[in-house]
């Protein structure tokens, strides 16, 4: 006698560029999730925001700013979201990931994000929301600055207006080297450069071409001063309806899909860098001595905001 499978539907909404990178991660998760489940079959519907609007919202437009509210209300089951936004809305400890020069390299980041501290940050989301974190994705990786001015030394930051994420850690990073941070959406870099509001802004290599930042930039400053991170998230009420086996397999599939996404982000970034080089866009990397000055200057960020985080957390991350 065969056991009848329990069928579960997951609506996974992709809200951010680069869309192709997120879709790859969602499909990787979707492919892996049913391989080891014995009593449950999960149907994952992967959608963009416009798809969701047409299928589930009577054609009424929704934006990335609506995503967390949709999940909290149980209108979608899974998505990915900027860790910065998750920190602002639900769990301020996650802002530790916005600190400058926190990670030495990708291996260090993976060890932290997939370790106890990463899990602590993900689990903390449930304290003030109906959302559970599953795994960390890049959707970018190390930050860089496309724009119209080359940053060849720490002195080149001084007096320069640069688009920044609005969180205080990102803005203080630029203030620490004498730059003027201007809080704008990532998608508004081109408009801001065109209007002369700033010379360029924080981005990440995999986002340069999907967002057409190459069309408004004559130089790409590969500063690598912090990581651009997102997180796979699931609605907690939905999660709590699942049996232990299904929860375990969802978590396992998410971690592996996130690992694949981070690897793909790195590859996409390398391809974007080579494409920019071939197009004649100047790529500037700070010399080691100037990078060290940049890192040393940003210690003021730690002095100002380090007490916002649990005792020892920053040190554990840096020494991991």
Model pLDDT for residues 133-189, shown as the tens digit of each residue: 999 999 889 999 999 999 999 999 999 999 998 899 999 999 999 999 999 998 899
Q: How many other C-beta atoms are found inside a 10 Å radius of the C-beta of residue 305?
A: 17
Residue ranges making up the domain that contains 313: 6-319
Helix-, strand-, coil-residue percentages of the chain, each rounded to 5: 50, 20, 30
Residue 1, domain member (yes or no): no
pLDDT at 1: 43
Residue 56, domain member (yes or no): yes
Cα separation of 272 and 258, whole Å?
21
Whether the predicted pLDDT of 37 surpasses 80: no
Residue 169, domain member (yes or no): yes
4: DSSP letter: P
Residue 268's pLDDT band, with cuts at 50, 70 and 90, is: very high
What is the percent of the chain where pLDDT is above 70? Answer: 98
Q: Residue 268 maps to which CATH number?
A: 3.40.190.170
Q: pTM of whole model > 0.85?
A: yes
pLDDT tens sequence across 85-116:
999 999 999 999 999 999 999 999 999 999 99
Q: How many domains does the chain have?
A: 1
pLDDT at 35: 77
Residue 218, domain member (yes or no): yes
Here the tokens at position 273 are 């860098």
Residue from 217, 170, 174, 229 nearest 192 by CA: 217
CA distances from 158 to 83, 96, 169, 251, 300 (A): 28, 25, 18, 45, 16
Burial 143-176 (b: 16+ CB within 10 A, else e): bbbbbebbbeebebbeebbbbbbebbbbbbbbbb
Here the tokens at position 205 are 């290599």
Residue 145, domain member (yes or no): yes
Whether the predicted pLDDT of 17 surpasses 60: yes
**Mean pLDDT over residues 259-281, rounded?**
94
């Amino acid at each position: 006698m065969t056991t009848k499978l329990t069928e579960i539907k997951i609506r996974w909404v992709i809200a951010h560029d680069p869309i192709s990178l997120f879709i790859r991660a969602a499909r990787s998760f979707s492919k892996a999730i049913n391989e080891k489940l014995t009593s449950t079959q999960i149907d994952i519907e992967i959608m963009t925001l416009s798809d969701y609007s047409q299928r589930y919202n009577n054609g009424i437009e929704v934006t990335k700013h609506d995503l967390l509210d949709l999940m909290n209300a149980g209108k979608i089951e899974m998505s990915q979201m900027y860790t910065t936004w998750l920190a602002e809305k639900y769990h301020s400890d996650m802002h530790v990931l916005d600190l400058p020069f926190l990670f030495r390299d990708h291996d260090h980041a993976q060890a932290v994000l997939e370790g106890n501290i990463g899990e602590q940050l993900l689990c903390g989301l449930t304290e003030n929301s109906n959302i559970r974190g599953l795994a960390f994705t890049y959707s970018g990786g190390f930050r860089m600055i496309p724009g119209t001015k080359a940053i060849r030394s720490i002195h080149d930051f001084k007096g320069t207006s640069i688009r920044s994420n609005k969180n205080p850690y990102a803005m203080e990073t630029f203030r620490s080297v004498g730059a003027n941070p201007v809080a704008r959406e990532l998608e508004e870099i081109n408009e801001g450069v065109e209007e002369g509001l700033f010379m360029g802004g924080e981005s990440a290599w995999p986002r340069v071409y999907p967002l057409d930042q190459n069309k408004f930039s004559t130089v790409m400053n590969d500063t690598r001063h912090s990581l651009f991170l997102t997180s796979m998230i699931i609605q907690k009420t939905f999660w709590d309806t699942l049996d232990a086996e299904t929860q375990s397999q969802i978590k396992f599939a998410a971690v592996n899909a996130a690992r694949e996404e981070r690897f793909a982000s790195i590859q996409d970034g390398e391809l974007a860098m080579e494409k920019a080089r071939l197009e004649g866009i100047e790529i500037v990397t700070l010399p080691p001595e100037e990078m060290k000055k940049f890192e040393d200057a940003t210690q003021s960020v730690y002095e100002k905001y380090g007490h916002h985080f649990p005792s020892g957390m920053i040190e554990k991350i840096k020494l991991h």
